[in-house]
Amino acid sequence: MKPLHKAIFPVAGLGTRFLPATKSIPKEMLTVVDRPLIQYAVDEAVEAGIDTLIFVTGRSKNAIVDYFDRSPELEAELEAKGKLEALQRVRDVVPPHVKCFYVRQPQPLGLGHAVLCAAELVQDDEPFAVLLPDDLIDAFPTGTLAQMADVHRRHGQAVLALEEVPLSQVHQYGVIRPADKNAHPLQIEGIVEKPRAEEAPSNWSVVGRYILTPDVMTALKTQQPGAGGEIQLTDAIAACLHTGNFVGLPLHGKRFDCGSKRGFLAANMHFGLRETAE
Ligand code: UTP
């Protein structure tokens, strides 16, 4: 299998929890302090050695495409005015060695379907990362995806980021069944999307960071709708678990669910207080 180079960012969801703002502003462009959510996810991917970014966009998401474009007029003006620090921040949006590609998800049919829309851009012998920008993670000692990429490099396995959540919240997540609760990383034996608390195989929830092997893309091609009538990435992963090739890495750090108002506000408080500390 080839080394990990590509990351898919599914950003075609409707963002209904932030309406009416998300009528014209993509949820992924909402800002935490001074950067849009998508920038945090891109920075995390680049830190992990990703050099090809694939954005799966949809209706009303053009602001994301514009954001990652070069802006020669703005850059020239900032340079002429001597605003060099601001100029650097504009240029740092994507490092020069990183390429961006955009594909369209015609309808938001689910996360699995969004990932499948990028299939043409990922080769049959190539692993790929998936990052959900709603999950913003203040991780240590490195970004979450860099930690996962390290595990993937050493073992060649698919890696899912995990977090323990109270049983009362498992119905919001994909939840795994670990083979041995004390192993590190955890071997994944089962996975189910949005289980009821009494049916959950554990309280280890899947966070929005995945490094997946090509068999998952193949499984997505025939994946039928699951929870919520959507084509679920979790179901395609479940179909591949028999390979014994999937591990879970508990995340080190604090995760903010920026798809919810409370998580988004908490992220702004957390990063805002830190960045403006005297
Ligand atoms: P969410 O379900 O959290 O996002 O999907 P949403 O549907 O946009 O938000 P709400 O629930 O209506 O407020 C997680 C991620 O998957 C993407 C979303 O853009 C988000 O980044 N997604 C989801 C897609 O790209 N396509 C889909 O069909 C579904």
Tell me how far apart the alpha carbons of residues 112 and 231 are, in angstroms, rounded to a whole number.
5
> pTM (2 decimals)?
0.95
Q: Rounded distance, CA 264 to CA 75, Å?
A: 30
- What is the 3-class SS of 67-122, one letter each residue? HHCCCHHHHHHHHHCCCHHHHHHHHCCCCCCCEEEEEECCCCCCHHHHHHCCHHHC
Of 112, 148, 139, 177, the closest CA to residue 271 belongs to 139
Q: What residues in the chain have per-residue pLDDT under 70?
A: 278
- Give the model's pLDDT for residue 59: 83
| Top mutation candidate among 64, 104, 111, 231 for ligand 1, by most atoms within 8 Å of CB | 111
User: According to the model, what pLDDT value does residue 60 have?
Assistant: 81
How far, in Å, from the CA of 136 to the mean position of ligand 1?
A: 14
State the pLDDT at residue 1. Answer: 83
If one counts every other C-beta atom within 10 angstroms of the C-beta of residue 192, the result is 21
At residue 258, the pLDDT reads: 97
186-193 and 174-178 strand pairing: antiparallel
Give residue ranges with CB within 6 A of ligand 1.
10-17, 27, 56, 105, 108-111, 113-114, 132-134, 259
